[in-house]
Amino acid sequence: MLTIENLSKTYANGVRALQGINLQIPRGMFGLLGPNGAGKSTLMRTIATLQEADEGSIRFGELDVLSQKEEVRKILGYLPQEFGVYPRISAAGMLDHFAVLKGITNTRERKAVVENLLQMTNLFEVRKQYLSTFSGGMRQRFGIAQALIGDPQLIIVDEPTAGLDPEERNRFLNLLSEIGENVVVILSTHIVEDVSDLCQRMAILVGGRLRLASSPASVIEQLEGKIWRRVIERRELASYEQDLTVISTRWAAGRLEMHVFSEAPLTDGFEPVDADLKDAYFSTLHNTAPAGETVSSTSTAA
């Protein structure tokens, strides 16, 4: 269990990246959603011991994350949103180097670890290729391979599927799902579908504050009967926004499909729709979603 209490961070330029975050993250896949600038990456870097907090605490089991950084790094796997690699080195060679840094000094053991990770991430056949020749999806799979060295108990992946094509995205998410069965995996993203597909627990950050913490299923259930759809002309949107809570719009067959949050039934061409996690996310951004569990909610999972 990862326990975060009253965590705050303000940068030198005055940006309040985190404001009193209270959150408990159990074993399994945990989704952290939020728009750009919500504070997700700041929270991830702080958990990963890469930057200091101004106040608050983080504990992982018996470890104090903020003061026992070296101990935390021994059981941590981290895939940042952007990570650099030496271009003129093979995947196998780079993983071998990372394994040494993780303290795996026995040559035979290290070779077995590297080969297993290459097989797991479907990179064994290209293990001798330079990393500079890898596609975006291959680089992401290499990134998760390096994050898994040493059998980490806490894994953090920051925007892992951004820029991947649908096939690579599915392959990557399947891999994460398998990994997340027995350890804590935090998936930080702005792609709602990734959380919907993988995570049993989730939280939404907005403007450095924790807006919601619950399960996707629970949040969606509380929106049932409250999401309405209508297809309109683009010029009509402003008038609807004056009178209704428009949570999202998208183009459909050359016209604008509008989703509206309303607890009362809507007529005049509106039809009810089954809520999904996108509706829950946009409702939360607009301060209209049911609160679900309180932002300091806990779980008995271990």
Q: The whole model's pTM is what?
A: 0.85
Q: How many CB atoms sit inside 10 A of residue 154's CB?
A: 23
14-18, 23-27, 147-151, 283-287: least confidently modelled range: 283-287
User: What are 44-63's pLDDT values in tens digits?
Assistant: 999 999 999 999 999 999 99
Spatial distance between the Cα atoms of 231 and 189, rounded to a whole number of angstroms: 29
User: What are 98-114's pLDDT values in tens digits?
Assistant: 999 888 999 999 999 99
User: What are 200-237's pLDDT values in tens digits?
Assistant: 899 999 999 999 999 999 999 999 999 999 999 888 99
CB of 66 within 8 A of CB of 55?
no
Residue type, 231: V
User: What are 174-201's pLDDT values in tens digits?
Assistant: 888 888 888 999 999 888 988 988 898 9
Q: In the chain, where are the structural domains located?
A: 2-75+153-214, 225-273
Return the bridge partners of 24, or none: 3
Q: What does each C-alpha distance from 260 to 131, 235, 240, 268 come to in angstroms?
A: 46, 17, 9, 13
Per-residue confidence (pLDDT) for residue 179, from 0 to 100 = 82
Q: What is the CATH number of domain 2-75+153-214?
A: 3.40.50.300
Give the DSSP H/E element, type plus range, for residue 232. strand 227-232
